[in-house]
Structure 1
Amino acid sequence: MKRLRNPRTGVDQGDTGIFSDFEDGGQMWTGTGPRERRRAVQFSEPFARPPAVHVSVSLWDMDTSAAIRAELVAENITCDGFDVVFRTWADSRAARVRAAWLAIGDLPHADDWDVD
């Protein structure tokens, strides 16, 4: 994992599998209607404040016999981590999805003061 650091700003990144439903007939592959999968991601070290988090698809294994409908977002962002969330609906079928993520924010610094 690469980390860029100046005295106050940090970068963390990763790649995480969200689900693989093809082999076992899971709901993302066999179901219809609104469906959602969440995966908790932990940062390699805490940020001083919740960072900005960007997520993108790094593996997309979808059935093409119906329209491909999907949403990929970061939710519940804290100093320690976040949830990566994949949603689909109607008759879209997803076999596997993996997400790449990038977090940029303030890192705690030994000389920081918390003054009220």
Structure 2
Amino acid sequence: MKTFQTHPIGIDQGEAVLFSEFGNGGDMWTGEGPRERRTEIRFKEGFRTPPVVQIGISLWDVDTTSALRAEVQAESITAEGFNAIFRTWSDTRIARIRVAWTAIGEVAHADDWNIS
């Protein structure tokens, strides 16, 4: 569990297309085996500390002739952003993926002291 002190809490959210490979024959659409895409996401404003990030698929365009195998994660979370990771494997064919994310964490307060 992530606990917060008495600082204000900020919530940021957004969506990002991680890839679209149907039109250009990219390996998410034409390949087999383990495949991965990483996209850097930047928060609109920085948090005081790394926030909690919830991420999920908001759009997927897939071939239905094989089993759907997919994983989406938020990795390398900092106060400024994170990496959205999509992975698939075997003979799954993915044309396009969009993710939606929400970040919740501490934000700076006007009364915070900056002691250097």
- Please, what TM-score do these two structures have when normalized by structure 2? 0.91
In the alignment, structure 1 segments of 5+ residues that lack a partner are: 1-6
Q: Which residue of 1 aligns with 2:108?
A: 108
Shift of 1:54: 0.3
Shift of 1:108: 1.1
Rounded to whole Å, the distance in 2 between the matches of 1:112 and 1:89 is: 47
Q: CA RMSD in A?
A: 1.4
Q: Which residue of 2 aligns with 1:89?
A: 89
- Please, what TM-score do these two structures have when normalized by structure 1? 0.91
Rounded to whole Å, the distance in 2 between the matches of 1:56 and 1:64 is: 20
Report the 3-state secondary structure (helix = DSSP H, G, I; strand = E; otherwise coil) of the residue aligned with 2:28: helix
Rounded to whole Å, the distance in 1 between the matches of 2:111 and 2:44 is: 21
Shift of 1:91: 0.4
Report the 3-state secondary structure (helix = DSSP H, G, I; strand = E; otherwise coil) of the residue aligned with 1:28: helix
Q: Which runs of 4+ in 1 moved over 6 A?
A: none
Identity %, equivalent residues: 55
The one-letter amino acid paired with 1:96 is: R
Report the 3-state secondary structure (helix = DSSP H, G, I; strand = E; otherwise coil) of the residue aligned with 1:78: coil
